[in-house]
């Protein structure tokens, strides 16, 4: 594995790049990741700067896709002070007003959290690379961290229904992963969890909720474009989508990102 130094203000840190491996988002595609030396413990300011450069955290690993012929992993974030709920989100909000929010550090995770995670993976992701769940996987993925991270819990009369693993940044909240009670489908807990993170960021005077990567050709990732407005990181610059894209436009955009992004799309989907 070769040492790798992306061009950024953080070149004093040590980075590495993985060999090509199967892409987690797109079938029959390979991927590579640049990642920070996991031995580094980083502070909020460093993680915030890395997030603005398109990096994500998973357990002790802070990484960014670095694929030669594909640019579909688009970092995205919601500018929370301009956010407006759509009709579906308003309904999810109303359905869950009986839930209470508590915040704990992820280091304080208990068997109650793991039991909910285990049920969620069995019910929702039995065909994915996170199946079967295990305590070790849970610890490495959601509890261990190179920085201080948090669980945003949603409870109904004390019963745990949803957990969002989050990092608090200097300009926002980074949504790492959410798992919830699979028997409560009518609540739309995944939607509500994001809405609560947006509300929390607003209450803290922060500007963004970072939602990770939007991959146009991955249907399971397109829910992120439902939160409007949304900003994406393209060619090192954050740009705001000025309207919701149709399914056809999303398909076209994904195809273009397999090569280079065409300049003529700038005036179509982005605010200057």
Look at residue 100 and tell me whether its pLDDT is greater than 70.
Answer: yes
Q: Which residue, 7, 24, 6, is CA-closest to 15?
A: 6
User: Cα torsion for 209, 211, 216, 217, to the nearest 10°?
Assistant: -170
Segment among 110-124, 217-231, 232-246, 250-264 with least mean pLDDT: 250-264
pLDDT band at 138 (very low <50, low <70, confident <90, very high): very high
Residue 219, SS3 per DSSP: helix
Q: Is residue 7 part of a domain?
A: no
pLDDT digits (tens, 9 = 90+) for 159-193: 999 999 999 999 999 999 999 999 999 999 999 99
Domains in the chain: how many in total? 1
In a domain, 92, yes or no: yes
C-alpha 74/C-alpha 35 separation (Å) is 17
Q: Is residue 227 part of a domain?
A: no
Residue 1 scores a pLDDT above 50:
no
- The CATH number assigned to the domain holding 115 equals 3.40.630.30
Please check whether residue 19 lies inside any domain of the structure. Answer: no
pLDDT at 7: 45
Q: Average pLDDT of 67-93? A: 94
Give the range of the structural domain holding residue 120, as residue numbers without chain letter: 87-199
Residue 228 lies in a domain: no
Domain assignment present for 101: yes
Helix (H, G, I), strand (E, B) or coil at 6: coil
DSSP structure class, residue 26: S
Closest CA to 42 of 132, 154, 170: 170
The reply to whether 41 falls in a domain is no
For residue 76, tell me if it sits in a domain.
no
Which 3 state secondary structure label does DSSP give 52?
A: helix
Cα–Cα distance measured from residue 192 to residue 189, given in angstroms and rounded to the nearest whole number: 5
Mean pLDDT value across the chain: 90
pLDDT of residue 272: 43
| Residue 66: closest CA among 78, 79, 56 | 56
């Amino acid at each position: 594995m070769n040492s790798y130094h992306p061009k950024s203000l953080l070149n004093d840190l040590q980075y590495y790049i993985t060999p090509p491996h199967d892409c987690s988002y797109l079938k029959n595609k390979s991927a590579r990741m640049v990642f920070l030396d996991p031995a580094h413990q980083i502070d909020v300011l460093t993680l915030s700067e890395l997030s603005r450069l398109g990096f994500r955290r998973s357990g002790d690993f802070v990484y960014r896709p670095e694929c030669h012929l594909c640019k579909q992993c688009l970092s995205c974030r919601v500018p929370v002070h301009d956010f407006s709920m759509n009709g579906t989100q308003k309904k999810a909000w109303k359905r869950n007003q009986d839930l209470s929010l508590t915040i704990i550090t992820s280091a304080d995770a208990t068997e109650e959290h793991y039991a909910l995670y285990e049920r969620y993976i069995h019910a929702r992701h039995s065909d994915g690379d996170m199946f079967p769940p295990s305590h070790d996987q849970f610890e490495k993925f959601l509890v261990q961290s190179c920085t201080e991270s948090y669980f945003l819990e949603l409870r109904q009369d004390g019963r745990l229904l949803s957990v969002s693993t989050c990092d608090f940044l200097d300009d926002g909240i980074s949504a790492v992963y959410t798992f919830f009670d699979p028997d409560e489908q009518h609540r739309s807990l995944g939607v509500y969890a994001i809405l609560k993170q947006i509300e929390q960021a607003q209450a803290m005077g922060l500007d963004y909720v970072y939602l990770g990567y939007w991959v146009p050709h991955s249907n399971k990732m397109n829910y992120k474009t439902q939160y409007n407005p949304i900003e994406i990181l393209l060619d090192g610059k954050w740009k705001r989508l000025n309207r919701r894209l149709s399914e056809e436009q999303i398909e076209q955009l994904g195809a273009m990102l397999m090569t280079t992004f065409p300049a003529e799309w700038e005036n179509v989907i982005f605010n200057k």
